[in-house]
C-alpha cells in the first residue's frame, strides 16, 4: 500500500472515515471524497497526523524516494525505515456521486496531480425507511440515485483509468439488507442488491485487464445511519434492540473499523474478484 493512491467515496461517513484512516496507516495517499465539507476538513487533519504503521526497511532506494529525501540516499539508506522516506499526500474533495459530472471533475484533478490510482472504495449509502406504499417518489429516487447509480457512476468514471493502466482494485459497500431484505427498507434493499449484481458483472468485464471488483455487505454497524438503533433516547423499544443483538452470533454490534479491515483484506488480496464478503457478526448464517 505504501505510496499507492486510494480514492474513498463516502469519506464523510463513519465507514468511509475508518477506511481512509486504515489506508493512511498503511502508507497510502488518500483522496477522501464526500458531501459534507466540515467533516472532510476534520478528517484531513486526522489523516495528516496519522502515522504509518510499518517496520519493514527498504532493500534499495528508487528514484521516487531519492527525489523525496535526497539527503537520506546513502550507503546507510537501507537502515532507514520506509515510513521516514515516504511522504504522504492526502486530499479532500466535495463530490456528489449521483452527479456524473461531479465525479469527472474529480477525475480531471487526479489525472493532473496523481501518477495513478490503485484503489477505488465506494463506501457511501443513504436510506429513507418507510413501507413502500407510503414512501414519497422523491425519496425513492434519491436512494436509488445515491446508492445504485452513484456506485455505477463512480465505477464507470474510474474504469477509464484502471483499464488504461491495466490494474486496479474496486471495493463496493453493499449491505446484508441487499441480500435478505428488511421490512420498511424495500427501496434500500433494491439499491444495495443492485450493487451486488452490478459488481459481479463488472468483475467479469474488467478482470481480463487485471482490475478486481469485490463487495462488502456489512450488518449492523454503529454509524449515523443506524444511530436510532443504538441511541437509547431514540430506540423504538429496548425489546427491539435486544432482539437484534440476540440475532447476531457474536453478540455485539459492529464498528466501522470492522468493515475497514475487510476493505483492506480485499484490497491486498490479488486473487479475489467478484466476491461478496459479509461482515455481520454472523447475523445471517
- Rounded Cα–Cα distance for residues 31 and 28 (Å): 10
Residue 201's H or E segment, with its range, is helix 186-206
Per DSSP, 132 falls in state G
Pairing between β-strand 91-94 and β-strand 29-34 as defined by DSSP bridges: parallel
Q: Which of 76, 188, 241, 271 is catalytic?
A: 188
Burial of 234 (0-12, 13-18, 19+ CB in 10 A): exposed
Residue 217's H or E segment, with its range, is strand 211-218
Phi, psi at 239, each rounded to 5°: -65, -45
**Cell triple for residue 11?**
469519506
CA 260 to chain centre: 7
188 has catalytic annotation:
yes
Phi, psi at 43, each rounded to 5°: -65, -40
- Give SS3 for 269: coil
Residue 172's H or E segment, with its range, is strand 168-173
Q: Are 188 and 143 in contact (CB under 8 A)?
A: yes
Which active-site residues does the annotation give? 188
Amino acid at each position: 500500500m505504501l505510496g499507492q493512491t486510494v480514492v474513498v467515496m463516502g469519506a464523510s461517513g463513519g465507514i468511509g472515515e475508518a477506511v481512509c484512516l486504515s489506508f493512511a496507516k498503511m502508507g497510502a495517499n488518500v483522496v477522501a471524497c464526500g458531501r459534507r465539507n466540515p467533516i472532510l476538513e476534520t478528517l484531513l487533519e486526522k489523516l495528516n497526523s496519522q502515522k504509518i504503521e510499518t517496520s519493514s526497511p527498504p532493500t534499495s532506494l528508487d528514484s521516487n524516494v531519492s527525489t523525496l529525501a535526497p539527503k537520506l540516499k546513502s550507503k546507510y539508506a537501507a537502515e532507514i525505515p520506509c515510513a521516514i522516506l515516504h511522504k504522504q499526500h492526502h486530499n479532500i474533495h466535495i463530490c456528489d456521486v449521483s452527479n456524473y459530472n461531479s465525479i469527472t471533475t474529480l477525475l480531471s484533478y487526479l489525472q493532473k496531480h496523481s501518477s495513478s490510482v490503485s484503489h477505488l472504495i465506494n463506501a457511501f449509502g443513504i436510506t429513507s425507511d418507510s413501507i413502500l406504499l407510503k414512501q414519497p417518489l422523491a425519496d425513492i429516487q434519491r436512494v436509488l440515485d445515491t446508492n445504485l447509480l452513484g456506485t455505477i457512476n463512480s465505477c464507470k468514471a474510474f474504469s477509464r483509468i484502471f483499464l488504461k493502466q491495466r490494474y486496479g482494485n474496486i471495493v463496493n459497500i453493499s449491505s446484508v439488507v441487499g441480500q435478505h431484505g428488511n421490512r420498511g427498507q424495500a427501496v434500500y434493499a433494491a439499491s444495495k442488491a443492485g450493487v451486488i449484481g452490478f459488481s459481479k458483472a463488472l468483475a467479469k468485464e474488467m478482470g481480463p485487464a487485471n482490475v478486481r471488483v469485490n463487495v462488502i455487505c456489512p450488518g449492523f454497524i454503529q454509524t449515523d445511519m443506524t444511530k436510532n438503533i443504538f441511541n437509547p433516547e431514540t430506540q423504538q423499544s429496548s425489546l427491539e434492540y435486544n432482539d437484534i443483538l440476540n440475532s447476531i452470533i457474536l453478540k455485539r454490534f459492529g464498528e466501522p473499523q470492522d468493515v475497514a479491515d475487510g476493505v483492506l483484506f480485499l484490497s491486498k488480496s490479488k486473487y479475489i474478484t467478484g466476491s461478496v464478503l459479509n461482515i455481520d457478526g454472523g447475523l445471517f448464517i
